[in-house]
Copies of this chain bind each other. A is one copy, B any other.
Amino acid sequence: MFDPRITKLADVLVRYSLGLEAGDHFLITGTDLAAPLVREVYRAALRAGAHPEVLVQLEGLAEIFLKEASEEQLRTITPLQRVTYEEYASRLAIQAPRNVKGLSGVDPRRMAIAQEARKELSAKLMERIGRGGKYCVTLFPTHALAQEAGMSLADYSEFVFEACFLNEDDPVAAWRDVSRRQQRIVDFLNETRELRVVGEDTDLTLSVAGRRWVNADGHVNFPDGEVFTGPVEDSVNGHIRFSFPGIFQGREIEDIRLRFEDGRVVAAEAARGQDLLEALLGTDEGARYVGEFAIGTNDRIRRFTRNLLFDEKIGGTVHLALGASYPMTGGRNQSAIHWDMICDLRRGGEIYADGELIYRDGKFLIDP
């Protein structure tokens, strides 16, 4: 049976997250499993006066391409790909996989060749999106995602719709409210010079002086709920133990503990996946520095579901990413990776801003 919350989701995405306007050329990408949401978004986009197009990723094609293409084929940018990079700065990407391990048999070096060939086009697209593009990543519940979360599809769908505020009468109003509350946190943190995070086996200090905090309020990710910045690269000191496994391209690293000196990871241990952890840190010099520090604020996301779009927003957690910074934060770290890991502060965790306790047990103590 069609769930009317899918129509609500489409409405929030088109009106709030993307803010589509008449005349916009707009691209929806997703799998055929997302068809119910694709149809509603497509309809809402038409009603907004936009010109929607849909690119459906058919299960198995990416795997066939990455396994069978010659190097020349891997590097070739087709006319169809080029037009999507060059003409569609308004986009909705819908995650709706049939199998989250679908590319696990692909040689990562071949994947890197294909990515490298598209780097320039991809960077230009990101630049255009940065200059007022309309871009959002969301997901549509599938069995594969539910299984990864350890849930039935029915339960997982409830979890997703609740995290998106779709049980509210007016989800757009609810997200505007989130945005206002988070903005007060952002305004406060923009005046902060130094943060200290204290938790189980964790005591980390970092400078955010002169860096900009971003209010992630449902525009680029949906659902959303975090505030983030890029810390001063050589300022990170101390140690941190991550509460959830770090996941890199579907592979898990368990119980990661890192020690930083002047911004650089000087010790890294994991209960499982030590090899991969070291390989990641060895990607390039920037992979040993923090590119993002963030605080998750979505209290309707309470459990880890092995999907970063949700996990990094869990209310009461912080996460940091090794590797590339987001330029809009003022962060300058460069790397081929941007890899997020999450630390749960809901039981006894604390954050100090310039020495003042502002956050305890996963809640802000300041006004918002």
A366 interface residue per 8 A CB criterion? no
Q: Which of A43, A61, A87: most chain B CB closer than 10 A?
A: A61
- Which of the candidate stretches A32-40, A125-133, A134-142 sits at the interface with the other chain? A32-40
When distances are taken between beta carbons in the complex, the residues of chain B under 8 Å from A61 are 38-39, 42, 54
**Complex: chain B residue closest to A77, CB-CB:** B51
State in angstroms the CA–CA spacing of A53 and B76 once bound together: 12
A32 x B53 contact (CB < 8 A)? no
State in angstroms the CA–CA spacing of A56 and B53 once bound together: 11
Q: Closest approach, in angstroms, between the C-beta of A11 and any C-beta of chain B?
A: 15
A102 interface residue per 8 A CB criterion? no
B35 x A51 contact (CB < 8 A)? no
Contact of A79 among B55, B78, B87 (CB under 8 A): B87
When distances are taken between beta carbons in the complex, the residues of chain B under 8 Å from A108 are none
**Complex: chain B residue closest to A59, CB-CB:** B35
**Per-position binary interface string of chain A over residues 58-86, scored 1 when its CB falls under 8 Å from any chain B CB and 0 otherwise:** 11110011001110010010111111101
A355 interface residue per 8 A CB criterion? no
A47 interface residue per 8 A CB criterion? yes
When distances are taken between beta carbons in the complex, the residues of chain B under 8 Å from A69 are 46
Q: Closest approach, in angstroms, between the C-beta of A217 and any C-beta of chain B?
A: 29
When distances are taken between beta carbons in the complex, the residues of chain B under 8 Å from A348 are none
**Complex: chain B residue closest to A63, CB-CB:** B39
When distances are taken between beta carbons in the complex, the residues of chain B under 8 Å from A84 are 80
A49 interface residue per 8 A CB criterion? yes
A38 x B58 contact (CB < 8 A)? yes
**Are A32 and B58 also in contact (CB < 8 A) when A68-B46, A70-B49 are?**
yes
**Are A64 and B80 also in contact (CB < 8 A) when A35-B59, A55-B55 are?**
no
A65 x B80 contact (CB < 8 A)? no
When distances are taken between beta carbons in the complex, the residues of chain B under 8 Å from A70 are 49
When distances are taken between beta carbons in the complex, the residues of chain B under 8 Å from A5 are none
Q: Closest approach, in angstroms, between the C-beta of A51 and any C-beta of chain B?
A: 5
Q: Closest approach, in angstroms, between the C-beta of A263 and any C-beta of chain B?
A: 43
Q: Closest approach, in angstroms, between the C-beta of A52 and any C-beta of chain B?
A: 8
When distances are taken between beta carbons in the complex, the residues of chain B under 8 Å from A363 are none
**Per-position binary interface string of chain A over residues 118-154, scored 1 when its CB falls under 8 Å from any chain B CB and 0 otherwise:** 0000000000000000000000000000000000000
Q: Closest approach, in angstroms, between the C-beta of A232 and any C-beta of chain B?
A: 42
- For the complex of A and B, the 9 pairs showing the least CB-CB separation, nearest first, are A56-B56, A79-B87, A32-B32, A83-B83, A53-B80, A46-B68, A51-B78, A39-B60, A43-B64
A-B contact pairs, 13 of them (CB 8 A): A25-B79, A32-B58, A39-B60, A39-B61, A46-B68, A46-B69, A51-B78, A53-B81, A54-B61, A55-B55, A79-B83, A80-B80, A80-B84
